[in-house]
Amino acid sequence: MKRSLLRGVRRGYALLIPFVAISAAAFASACQGCKVPATAAVSADADVDANASKPTVRLYVLSTVAGALEPCGCTKDQLGGIDHLAALIEAQRGEAPDRLVVGAGPMLFTDPEVKPERSSQDAWKAEAMALAAKEIGLTAWAPGENDWALGAEALGKYQEQSGAALLGKNLEGAKGVQGVVVRDVSGVKVGLIGVSDPKGRAGAYPEGVKAGPAIDAMKAGVEEAKKQGASVFVGLAALPRGEALRLADSVPELHVLVLGKPSERGDGNDGPKPPEIIGSTLVVETPNHLQSVAVVDLFVRGGGSGPLVFADAGGVAKAGELISLSERIRELEIRLNGWEGDKRVSAKDVEARKADLEKLRAEKAQLEAAETKVTGSFFRYSSVEVREKLGADKDVAGQLLAYYKRVNDHNKQAFADRVPEKPAKGEAGYIGIDACTNCHDEERKVFDGTAHARAYATLEQDFKEFNLDCVSCHVTGYGKPGGSTVTHNASLQNVQCEECHGPGSLHAKDPEKKGLIVLSPPPQSCVTQCHHPPHVEGFDPVAKMQLILGPGHGRD
């Protein structure tokens, strides 16, 4: 996304959720924080319409991205995708020309450790993430343990490629990590202060890195930013949530506090985390893996002599209702996605649920559109789900494609000699669907009409058939004795019979002998192997199994 070029990316459908949720325990202090004290820099005007002008600065907030370039799975319109986020930011350039993109928590890698066989692929994936971060204009992030997965030198390279500052004011010995950066935005200086505790499960830090007290470091960072002329203070904290929340209590000068995890493992997705107001600090943490981005608009209205305080114009009172509506909308979307292709569901029921969905969306949009008036400086908060409907930025999409092609070419050669382990003596191996068809012609006809029969082709069309993140759910018997590998799978491409019924070599030799094959695979096996979150949401294995049955294959 070149900043000098305003591309005509059509703004896609975005779910803007302006909610600021407050826990019951924190309600009293939160409401106190929403008021503008006498010392705040406020306008002489009695009421300022929160919709009246462009924000002084817009913050796009990311938490615990952890190497999630795009979602992986077979659910329609999954959440995530840095190319979609880039399209959103570019599409909103006109309404918010002055913005900063900030993050907290691991940015580059899914896990803190990289397996030797994955070193090249994961290194290039981190590079693709860094380059994409530069395209979206990432200003700074507080790193997590994962970011050091390939060492300090590699992290320094990725930081340079991203163009963003690594912020960890409390970190010692962390090469290339700063404590504070100050950016002039719309004539207002914004101080970004980061703290991190990149400690692993065993209590060890990345080599050469030590972490000091986060609160002391954040206080010192605010003072340093003040000396550089900053009047708006944004904290970035890659810390355990409880420890991070104490920052808001201990450093009341912070206007916005962005939270992220200190470490992340695996590709599981977290649910949404509602923002809070602690004192006068807005605390924000988005779901991991780029499922959504938080948008914080800060409107500075000068005139006062004291410290700047932002009043809430983002709908604190509406938070609970908006969260409930968002959850109900998502549940309906998942249900409708699950019904796709299921002929047992009547068209009448589908249309009724679609009507319910549109009604909820309209109700939510109406609630969001209600005007809020405040006095003085104020902020507005919204959460935008990152979806395909936002469009795809061409530059970032091109970088992702280049990454996939690079990995495909490399892995095809690097794993050319990787053959599956042979089955133990007396154990069955995989023979492939063509061998099964010799006796099961009717079943083969049913299989050919399913999406399972085209699973491998979906990888090939996107240059992902040799990608270690993808191939296991698109071939049969992956990594199993007598099965397939990333390169040796010619007869086992697609999700064939043996993926559900088990290896068939012994059964083929003695078809009448019982116990050599799984006759009726349990529906739960679909979930265990591939159809589980985050790859699929709301998957009903009992219902979905009906889509792969037919005459001679589970039906008379």
Q: Contact 185/98 with Cβ under 8 angstroms?
A: yes
> Contact, 462 vs 404, CB < 8 A?
yes
Determine how β-strand 165-167 pairs with β-strand 177-178. parallel
β-strands 138-142, 165-167: how paired? parallel
Mean pLDDT of 352-359: 89
* Residue-level pLDDT at 31: 33
Count of domains in the chain?
3
Give the model's confidence band at 375: pLDDT under 50 very low, under 70 low, under 90 confident, else very high: confident
In-domain check, residue 20: no
CA 118 remoteness from chain centre: 21
Query: Considering the chain, what is the average pLDDT of its residues?
Result: 87
Same domain? 122 vs 135: yes
φ and ψ at 538, to 5 degrees? 60, 35
Q: Does a structural domain hold residue 458?
A: yes
The answer to whether residues 366 and 289 belong to one domain is no
List of residues 6+ apart from 80 with CB closer than 8 A: 68, 70, 71, 289, 290, 291, 386
Which of 303, 337, 371 delimits the end of a domain?
A: 371
Q: Does any domain span residue 406?
A: no
pLDDT at residue 3 in the model: 38
108 domain residue, yes or no: yes
Q: Confirm if 210 and 171 have CB atoms less than 8 A apart.
A: yes
Check if the beta carbon of residue 158 is closer than 8 Å to that of residue 149.
Answer: no
The least confident of 207-211, 277-281, 361-365 is: 361-365
For 85-104, what is the mean pLDDT? 96
Q: Are residues 148 and 176 in the same domain?
A: yes
Can you read off the two tokens belonging to residue 493? 């491409």
Considering the domain boundaries, does residue 242 fall inside one? yes
Q: Computed from CA positions of residues 122, 123, 128, 134, in that sequence, does the dihedral angle turn out positive or negative?
A: positive
The helix (run of H) or strand (run of E) holding residue 102 is: strand 99-104
* Residue 203, in any domain of the structure: yes
* pLDDT at site 20: 33
Q: Is residue 12 part of a domain?
A: no
Asked whether the predicted pLDDT for residue 299 surpasses 90, the reply is yes
Whole domain around residue 335: which residue ranges?
319-371
- Mean pLDDT is lowest, of 12-16, 307-311, 420-424, 471-475, for 12-16
Is residue 159 located within the same domain as residue 243?
yes
Which of 253, 252, 254, 217 is closest to 235 using CA atoms?
Answer: 254
Report the interhelical angle of 319-339 vs 347-369 (nearest 10°).
160
Band the pLDDT of 429: cuts 50, 70, 90.
Answer: very high
Structure tokens at 360: 């909820």
Instruction: Say whether pLDDT at 46 is over 70.
Output: no
Would you state the pLDDT for residue 19?
A: 32
User: Is there a domain that residue 124 lies in?
Assistant: yes
156 in Cβ contact with 149 (< 8 Å): no
CATH of the domain at 239: 3.60.21.10
Examine the domain organization and report whether 57 and 193 are in the same domain. yes
Q: In this prediction, what percent of the chain has a pLDDT beyond 90?
A: 68
The residue behind tokens 């094959």 is 517
pTM: 0.85
Do 363 and 421 lie in a common domain? no
Q: Rounded distance, CA 166 to CA 158, Å?
A: 10
Confidence band (pLDDT; 50, 70, 90) for 112?
very high
Mean pLDDT of 50-66: 87
Look-up of token digits 């913050």: 59
pLDDT band for position 53 (50/70/90)?
A: confident
- Does residue 124 sit in the same domain as residue 256? yes
Q: Does residue 423 have a pLDDT over 90? A: yes
